[in-house]
Amino acid sequence: MSTQPKYQRVLLKLSGESLMGPDAFGINRDTIMQIVGQVKEVVDMGVEVAVVIGGGNIFRGMAQSAKGMERATADYMGMMATVMNALALKEAFETVGVKARVQSALSMQQVAETYARPKAIQYLEEGKVVIFAAGTGNPFFTTDTAAALRGAEMNCDIMLKATNVDGVYTADPKKDAAATRYQTITFDEAISRNLKVMDATAFALCREQKLNIVVFGIFKEGALKRVVAGEDEGTLVHV
């Protein structure tokens, strides 16, 4: 396998749910270490990695209490859940010897730096993993949109959307045995076929900024390394 990375700087979008593993909510230690191990492999290849993390593993566990709540308030609670996940990721990275920094779009200086683009770029150039927490800092925007925004701001070569399915399929592979994986697909084709790659705002931003996306399965051993090496892993969504 090629050890030459195809991409020098990547934005990895992780859902909060990806940290749960087999658990109903929260952070599963074995699962977070498996994800961190995959990221370490690409950091060791010399790739600069920025991460945007969601908060669904914590906040969806409180979804019942959010019913009837004003949307903005619920979104701020979700942003704070992403900060908890970011701190857990940072600690896990440092356990395996990877330096990491957390930058939050909401100011909470006792636990994380406030997001600052020049500082984040400096950290990436120094080989540190930068974990972006608290989404965009605004309600009504998803962490997919935050990932598209940070990917563009950091001048990333590609956005890597980690999921529990190994790419974009013609239909739901869990429901349709005849579903096949797209190796590559254009943004326009994905829209016309109504393939839900990510939310519409994030997708439009990536297309406008010409920030291609690879959708891949994070729990497939070595998948992230193969994506970064430019191998046939996942689905490339391109302009």
pLDDT at 169 over 60: yes
- The predicted model gives 125-135 an average pLDDT of 98
Half-sphere exposure of 148 (CA within 13 A, CB side): 22
- The predicted model gives 100-129 an average pLDDT of 98
Bridge partners, 125 (sequence order): none
Binding-site entries for UMP = 55, 75, 136-143
Q: Where are the alpha helices (DSSP H) in the chain?
A: 29-43, 56-59, 63-66, 71-95, 117-125, 143-153, 187-192, 200-208, 223-228
CA 49 to chain centre: 11
pLDDT digits (tens, 9 = 90+) for 194-234: 898 999 999 999 999 999 999 999 999 999 999 999 999 99
| pLDDT value at residue 65 | 65
Residue 10 parent element (H or E): strand 9-14
Binding-site entries = 13-16, 55-56, 60, 75, 136-143, 163-164, 169, 172
pLDDT digits (tens, 9 = 90+) for 20-68: 999 999 999 999 999 999 999 999 999 999 999 999 999 876 666 677 8
Query: In this structure, what token pair is assigned to residue 234?
Result: 């996942």
Mean of the per-residue pLDDT values of the chain = 94
Query: In this structure, what token pair is assigned to residue 61?
Result: 């566990």
CA dist., res. 210 & res. 195, Å (int): 18
pLDDT digits (tens, 9 = 90+) for 84-96: 999 999 999 999 9
DSSP state of 62: G
Binding-site entries for ATP = 13-16, 56, 60, 163-164, 169, 172
By C-alpha distance, which of 102, 237, 44, 218 is closest to 158?
237
Contacts of 193-198 with C-beta under 8 Å, sequence gap 24+, read 195/168, 197/161, 197/168, 197/237, 198/13, 198/144, 198/148, 198/161
Query: pLDDT confidence of 1, banded at 50, 70, 90?
Result: very low
Domains of the chain: 9-238 (3.40.1160.10)
